[in-house]
């Protein structure tokens, strides 16, 4: 029995390592590949040379435009939403302010409650999802791409201005500060999204003319640099244009090419570079390595047990056994009686 001890040990170790590989992939990874419910972050998007309609002075303006996005997760609401939907849900409160002159009156601002799947990043329509206090039904990606993002054209990105999701196109790979990223674009065509009351003089009418109802149009071309492991957007650029239209005349409302500030990009890299490597290790490297080693050890133990088994049979069986009878008298009882 001692001969079989070594194969049994080898096979036991192999089974353990194989099990660990499967646990890394199917238990550890799903538990690690989730967005936090207690998110607390700030992103800053900036354009040093934006042109816009200066509402303070009721005239065209230009200069630096800074947009600050603040995100605060709500763990209690996330838990309640998860219980209500039967899914792993995150609820984030988001506030956005755009400022062109640094005073106490921002150029634009908005608040929202984002409810989305913690694994895929896709919107979930429930549990207080809103835009500026009004209920909204979102679709597509809301704040990030899925964990294990694929280089495909099947994602959609939610645009809060128009209130619609638009297709996302994969355009290639890029590298930022040592991180290998996927590059995506998403385009919003020029679309009317609201109507505003503005002075008629802006559209060539007399200075004393009354205010008019002007249509506001908007277009945007976004570019995302996405970490494919975590789905986090490390950098982004928006080429945005807005204009007012009335009576065949148009007035520029906003033209800007804005991007994350260098500080924001640096913070994203610092926060996600190491976690991306760890998650990739758990998702791919460790499961493949442990599964391969486990299978090799199982096969080795099996082969050793077969070899030992064959050796034992050779040891217990005579090389030659002559079971023939006596060549002269034979071996049966009758022959032995006559010989007696």
* Residue 83: per-residue pLDDT: 95
Q: Is the pLDDT confidence value at 68 over 70?
A: yes
* Rounded Cα–Cα distance for residues 198 and 213 (Å): 6
Query: Residue 337 — very low, low, confident or very high, per pLDDT cuts 50/70/90?
Result: very low
Which range among 91-100, 149-158, 282-291, 311-320 has the greatest average pLDDT?
149-158
Of residues 240 and 325, more confidence is placed in: 240
HEC letters along the chain: CHHHHHHHHHHHHHHHHHHHHHHHHHHHHHHHCCCCCCCEEEEEEEEEEEEEEECCCCEEEEEEEEEEEEEEECHHHHHHHHHHHCCCEEEEEEEEEEECCCCCCCCEEEEEEEEEECCCCEECCCCCCEECCEECCCCCECCCCCCCCCCCCCCEEEECCCCEEEEEEEEEEEEECCEEEEEEEEEEEEEEEEEEEEEHHHHCCCCCCCEEEEEEEEEEEEEEEECCCCCCEEEEEEEEEEEEEECCEEEEEEEEEEEECHHHHHHHHHHHHHHHHHHHHHHHHHHHHHHHHHHHHHHHHHHHHHHHHHHHHHHHCCCCCCCCCCCCCCCCHHHHHHHC
Q: What is the pLDDT of residue 335?
A: 46
Give 102's pLDDT tier (boundaries 50, 70, 90).
Answer: low
More confident residue, 25 or 198: 198
Where does the pLDDT of residue 332 fall: very low under 50, low under 70, confident under 90, or very high at 90 and above? Answer: low
Q: Which residue has the higher pLDDT, 217 or 325?
A: 217
Band of pLDDT at residue 338, cut at 50, 70 and 90: very low
Half-sphere exposure of 295 (CA within 13 A, CB side): 7
Is the pLDDT higher at 24 or at 313? 24
pLDDT digits (tens, 9 = 90+) for 246-282: 999 999 999 999 999 999 999 999 999 998 999 989 8
Task: Please tell me the predicted confidence (pLDDT) of residue 148.
Answer: 96
Q: Is 252 exposed, middle or buried (0-12, 13-18, 19+ CB in 10 A)?
A: middle
pLDDT value, residue 259: 96
pLDDT score for 340: 47
What integer is the mean pLDDT of 119-142? 94
Give me the pLDDT at residue 339, please. Answer: 45
Q: Which two tokens stand for residue 197?
A: 């009351």
Q: What is the mean pLDDT of the chain?
A: 88
56-68 average pLDDT score? 85
What does the radius of gyration of the chain's CA atoms come to, in whole angstroms? 36
Spatial distance between the Cα atoms of 337 and 340, rounded to a whole number of angstroms: 5
Rounded to an integer, what is the distance from CA 321 to the centroid of its chain? 72
- Is the pLDDT at 9 greater than 90? The verdict is no
Q: Tell me: pLDDT of 137 over 90.
A: yes
Q: At what angle do helices 5-23 and 286-316 cross, to 10 degrees?
A: 160
Take residue 272 and report the two structure tokens written for it: 């996600």
**Cβ contact 244:196 at 8 Å:** yes
- What is the pLDDT averaged over residues 37-43? 94
Paired tokens of 198: 């503005």
283-319, pLDDT tens digit by residue?
Answer: 888 889 988 998 998 898 888 888 887 766 555 555 4
Taking alpha carbons only, the member of 142, 145, 139, 138 closest to residue 120 is: 145
Give the separation between CA 76 and CA 172, rounded to whole angstroms. Answer: 39
Rounded-to-integer distance, Cα 322 and Cα 327, Å: 12
Q: Is the pLDDT of residue 336 over 80?
A: no
Average pLDDT of the residues in 92-100: 91
| Mean pLDDT of the region 70-95 | 95
């Amino acid at each position: 029995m001692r001969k079989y001890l070594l194969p049994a040990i080898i096979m036991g170790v192999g089974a353990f390592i194989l099990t660990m590989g499967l646990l890394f992939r199917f238990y550890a990874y799903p538990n690690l590949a989730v967005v936090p419910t207690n998110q607390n972050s700030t992103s800053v998007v900036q354009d040093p040379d934006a042109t816009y309609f200066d509402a303070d002075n009721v005239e065209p303006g230009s200069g630096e435009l800074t947009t600050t996005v603040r995100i605060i997760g709500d763990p209690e609401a996330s838990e309640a939403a998860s219980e209500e939907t039967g899914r792993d849900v995150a609820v984030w409160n988001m506030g956005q302010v755009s400022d062109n002159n640094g005073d106490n009156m921002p150029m634009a601002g908005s608040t929202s409650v984002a409810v989305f799947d913690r694994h895929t990043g896709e919107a979930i329509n429930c549990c207080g999802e809103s835009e500026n206090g009004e209920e909204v039904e979102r679709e597509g990606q809301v704040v990030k791409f899925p964990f294990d993002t694929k280089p495909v054209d099947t994602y959609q990105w939610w645009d809060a201005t128009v209130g619609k999701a638009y297709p996302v196109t994969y355009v290639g790979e890029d590298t930022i500060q040592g991180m290998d990223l996927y590059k995506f674009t998403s385009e919003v065509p020029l679309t009317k999204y609201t109507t505003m009351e503005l002075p008629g003089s802006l559209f060539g009418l007399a200075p004393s003319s009354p205010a008019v109802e002007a249509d506001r149009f908007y277009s945007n071309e976004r570019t995302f640099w996405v970490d494919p492991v975590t789905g986090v957007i490390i950098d982004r650029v928006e080429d945005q244009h807005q204009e007012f239209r009335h009576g065949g005349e148009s007035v520029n409302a906003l033209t800007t090419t804005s991007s994350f500030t260098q500080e924001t990009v640096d913070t994203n890299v610092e926060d996600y570079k190491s976690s991306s490597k760890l998650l990739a290790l758990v998702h791919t490297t460790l499961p493949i390595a442990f599964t391969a080693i486990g299978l090799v050890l199982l096969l080795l133990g099996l082969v050793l047990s077969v070899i030992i088994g064959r050796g034992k049979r050779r040891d217990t069986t005579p090389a030659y056994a002559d079971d023939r009878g006596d060549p002269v008298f034979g071996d049966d009882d009758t022959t032995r009686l006559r010989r007696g």
